[in-house]
Structures are given as C-alpha cells and as structure tokens.
C-alpha cells in the first residue's frame, strides 16, 4: 500500500482497531479515515453507503464489531448476531460498490467447532457444532467470511479474512461483567490486592486451554497480510501455543503482585475445552508472533494502571 493511500479503519477506538491504527501510523501511513460510532453508525446502511461514496477509501480494515466474553455473549445473543451481521453486510457491500481496492475482515477463532481437532486448521470451519455460549457471534462472523468469499468469486472483490485467537492488550475491556478472560482477571486481581482480599474467584474449573495473542502482534500481522496476501482462504493468526486458564490466572497474579489464593467456581461454564490455532499457513507466508505472554501482560497491566480512573467510571 502506498503511504499516502486513503485507508479506512472501521472500529479504530476498539482494542483491535486502535492497534491497527497505531501500527499503520508507525509504518508511515498518514491518510487514515477514522470515524467514531457517533459520527458513523455502521449498522445504518444508508449512512455507510454515503460515507464510502463521499470518502472513497482505497483500503479498508474492518475491525468494528460487537464483542464480549462468555457472560455477554450468553446474555445478549440478539444484540451480538444482529449488530455484527449489520456491520459486516453494510461495510463489505459499500466498500465493493465504492471501488475499494482491498478489504481485510477480522473474524475470530471462536467460529471453529467446539470440539475441533487441536490445533485448529482453517479447513475445520463448519465441520461440527459451535460452542453454545457464543454461537450467535460465531454465526455472524462466519457470515462475514462467506460474504468476503462470495464477493471475491462473483465480483472479483479483493477481500481477505483473518482469524485471530484470543486477544488482549492496551485498550482492552476490563469490565468484570462482559470483558474477556485476561483483562477481567487483571482487574479482579488488582482490586483484590487493593482491598486486601484473601482470595480471588475465577469462573470455571481452570482446566480449559487458551491461546493468547497480544493485539499489537495481531495488528502487525494484519498489515503484513494486507500487503502480502490476496487469497480466498481464511488465515489463522495466533502464537501457536496455549496455557490453561489456571496457568493464565497464576501469571496474572504474578504480574499484578497479588499475594492471595485463587479459587475456581466450577458452577460457572468453562466454554470450549481447548482453543489453539494451527498457524502453519501464516508461518509459511513469513510471519510469526513476537510478544511473550508475560511481557504482554505486564504491558497491559501498565496501561490498566495509567487509565484506572476512566476504567472505573
């Protein structure tokens, strides 16, 4: 991509979109199109078409989505499937109609079957039942992938799809109700440390295994693939290794410096037993993750402390 090309980053204030914006700016891209939700509601088809007709971006990073953890997915299924479908349909179609040169769509590793063979290869998509607690979000993301593939086949639209694993990093959602596991753990351990609480309770048994990718690594992979990949097949983005939730909790406790006990509430759902991506396709293209989990957690905890006042509002 030329450094002066007009690039639209959809969802630039979210965890992923903000990281993509940082990566693009660091690489010398300055002509970025950025709109807040108040400025452009991506669920509004007329507004999205008008934006693309007026601004005519050459490249699009579609990072906007309604996201959340197990509790949020299970509590607001209609919101998750409706909003994500609307965002995808509106942006992908408007981008094609406006003559966008290339679009990158971000899916999620939760789209794979609940009991998919581990590590999960790209070709196991739709090979079995989904995890029930996030099926609404997964169905919407699968529809986005298929839309990219359909527009490529029928119209020759250059749309690629990335499947990131579990993400974390600066700008994450640290809500105890609807945040993902690592930011929620950081907040729980920090607040327990402040309060002098003797223990912290973690949902589930602690035995499920998860792969965690720092969002800055994902942003680097997104730019790498936007410039070097142009295929219909989806591409997994991960680190290629995983840890148990218990191990992740112990690592967060270490980073935060919390001295108390960890207890597990087995009445709460575990979710998918294991979720590890096969990243051999991405590795063959020449990219691999660089940020170790403990280093990434320390970076995230620093950001959390710097923004504690606004997080607690």
| Known binding residues for NADP(+) | 11-17, 106-109, 141, 164-167, 180
Asked about 155 being catalytic, the answer comes back as no
DSSP character string of 64-75:
------HHHHHH
The token pair that represents 1 in the structure block = 């991509």
Choose among 220, 256, 258, 255: nearest CA to 237.
220
Annotated binding site for substrate: 188, 203, 210, 270
Q: Closest Cα to residue 185, out of 204, 201, 197?
A: 201
Annotated binding residues, written as ranges, equal: 11-17, 106-109, 141, 164-167, 180, 188, 203, 210, 270
C-alpha 198 chain-centroid distance: 33
Q: Please give the helix or strand (H or E) that residue 163 lies within, else none.
A: strand 159-164
Torsion of CA 75, 35, 217, 292, to 10 degrees: -60
Report CA dihedral (17, 19, 21, 26) to the nearest 10 degrees: -170
> What φ, ψ does residue 23 adopt, rounded to 5°?
-65, -40
Residue 299 CA: distances (Å) to CA of 161, 242, 255: 28, 19, 10
Within 8 A by CB and 6+ apart from 31, the residues are 4, 5, 6, 7
Partners of residue 161 on adjacent β-strands: 105
CA distance linking residue 196 with residue 199, whole number of Å: 9
Helices (H), the chain: 15-26, 45-55, 70-75, 77-97, 135-155, 181-195, 215-228, 245-256, 280-285, 293-306, 308-311
Query: Out of 8, 59, 112, 137, which one is annotated catalytic?
Result: 137
**Which sequence positions are flagged as catalytic?**
137
């Amino acid at each position: 991509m030329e450094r002066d090309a007009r690039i639209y980053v959809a969802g630039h204030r979210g965890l992923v979109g903000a990281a993509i914006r940082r990566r693009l700016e660091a690489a010398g891209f300055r002509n970025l199109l950025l709109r807040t939700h108040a400025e452009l509601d991506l669920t509004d088809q007329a507004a999205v078409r008008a934006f693309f007709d007026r601004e005519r971006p050459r490249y699009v990073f579609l990072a906007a989505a309604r996201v959340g953890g197990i509790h949020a997915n299970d509590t607001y299924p209609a919101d998750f499937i409706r909003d994500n479908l609307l965002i995808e349909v509106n942006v992908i179609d408007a981008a094609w109609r406006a003559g966008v040169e290339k679009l990158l769509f971000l899916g999620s590793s939760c789209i794979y079957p609940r009991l998919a063979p581990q590590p999960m290869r790209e070709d196991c998509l739709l090979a079995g039942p989904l995890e029930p607690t996030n099926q609404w979000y997964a169905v919407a993301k699968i529809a986005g992938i298929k839309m990219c593939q359909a527009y490529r086949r029928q119209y020759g639209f250059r749309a690629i799809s990335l499947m990131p694993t579990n993400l974390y990093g600066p700008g994450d959602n640290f809500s105890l109700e609807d945040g993902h596991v690592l930011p929620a753990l950081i907040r729980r351990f920090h607040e327990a440390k402040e309060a002098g609480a003797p223990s912290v309770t973690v949902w589930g048994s602690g035995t499920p295994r998860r792969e965690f990718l720092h969002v800055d690594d994902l942003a680097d992979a997104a730019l790498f693939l936007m410039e070097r990949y142009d295929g219909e097949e989806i591409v997994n983005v991960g680190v290629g290794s995983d840890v148990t939730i218990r191990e992740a909790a112990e690592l967060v406790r270490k980073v935060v410096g919390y001295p108390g006990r960890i207890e597990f509430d087995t009445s709460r759902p575990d979710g998918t037993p294991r979720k590890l991506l096969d990243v051999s396709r991405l590795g063959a293209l020449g990219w691999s993750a660089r940020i170790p989990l403990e280093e990434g957690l320390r970076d995230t905890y620093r950001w959390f402390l710097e923004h504690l006042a606004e997080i607690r509002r």
